[in-house]
Amino acid sequence: MPKVLIIDDSSVMRKMIQRNIQQSGLIVDSFVEAGDGKEALAKIAADSSIDLILCDWNMPNMTGIEFVKALRGSGNQTPIVMCTTEGSDAKVVEATGSGANGYITKPFTPDQLKTKLGAFLQIK
Amino acid sequence: MDLKGIMDGITLDIKETTKTLFETMIMLDLNYGDASLVDETQIKTDVIGMVSFTGQYHGVVGIFCSKKFALKVASSMLMMELEEFNNDVKDAVGEVSNMIAGNIKTKMSEKYGEMHLSIPIVIAGEGLSITAVGNVPTVSDTALSCFSKDPWLMTYFISEKEKFGVGLLLKESK
């Protein structure tokens, strides 16, 4: 069953993303949380069963784009969808060019999340 | 373009961004108030959430609100009734600031080049104080004054019968 890692320095946002995914009808079995890129890398190293990663951009210690580059540099190809307020074309190009597989801009609705994540998760 | 002209355009961006945020993720009613350049001495608030940005222009985007309103926003975002001004409330105010600043920055970047955002900072006052607004004395739980040498472009909104402001401090980088 799908497991999703949510990386965001806001605990409120991590809870909101979980709730939005559950409301959207996407099938997810469990969530793992990390407050920055560095913590996320440690969680991934300890858990090889993560199916999808949602990643904020601006975070302390290790930013989202630094995390994407580090994960791809290690050879890990788990899908990454950036989930951020950074919505400019330049940022989208930078993220996808670094190895991110998708992009969603905050704020979003459960339906928008469903559309963006439907390529990576099954829908009820 | 002069700074005043840029700020006029940004007011519309602030209104649209804040409206979208309240409709999609906060789920509270929202009505526009007015927008004006405000001297820092006129800004009295309980809670400030701020995100700074740098680039061709630099400055700060901030949300200024009461503790009561911050509690309502956090409660709505978490879908649970919060009664204490705890870390979840500060986190929620920070995230609201971040989403407003991020979207304004995206719109500004289209016109004025790429900019970089800081992570949010939330400041909340503690203790009792009394401030007078006009001739009407107001007792608030806290009162913070915001100091800056330049005026803020303040856009005011009403939500849940509470007035709050989204402020922008903008300077051209030399």
pLDDT beneath 70, residues of chain B = 1-4, 41, 126-149
**The pLDDT of residue A116 is above 60:** yes
DSSP chain B: --HHHHHHHHHHHHHHHHHHHIIIII----EEEEEEEE-GGG-EESEEEEEEEESSEEEEEEEEE-HHHHHHHHHHHHTS---S--HHHHHHHHHHHHHHHHHHHHHHHHHH---EEPPPEEEE--S-EEEEETTEEEEES--EE---SS-EEEEEEEETTEEEEEEEEEEE--
Is B78 in contact with A16 (Cβ distance < 8 A)?
yes
Residue B135's pLDDT is 45
Residue B134's pLDDT is 45
Residue B2's pLDDT is 66
**The pLDDT of residue A2 is above 90:** yes
pLDDT in tens, A6-24: 999 999 999 999 999 999 9
Is A12 in contact with B20 (Cβ distance < 8 A)?
no
Does this complex have an ipTM over 0.85? yes
Residue B22's pLDDT is 96
Residue A6's pLDDT is 98
Strand partners for A6 = A33, A54
Residue A79's pLDDT is 98
Q: Which residues of B touch A (CB under 8 A)?
A: 20-21, 24-25, 74, 77-79, 87-88, 91-92, 94-95, 98-99, 101-103, 105-106, 109-110, 114, 117-119
pLDDT in tens, B95-104: 999 999 999 9
Mean pLDDT of chain B: 84
Residue B148's pLDDT is 62
Residue B137's pLDDT is 44
Residue B129's pLDDT is 40
Chain A, window 22-51: residues with a beta carbon less than 8 angstroms from a chain B beta carbon: none
- Judging contacts by C-beta atoms under 8 Å, the chain A residues touching residue B91 are 10-12
pLDDT in tens, A53-80: 999 999 999 999 999 999 999 999 999 9
Name the token pair of A68: 């994407």
Strand partners for A32 = A5
Residue B143's pLDDT is 57
Task: Answer whether A10 touches B (CB < 8 Å).
Answer: yes
Is B95 in contact with A58 (Cβ distance < 8 A)?
no
For A18, the closest chain B residue by CA position comes to B78
Residue B111's pLDDT is 82
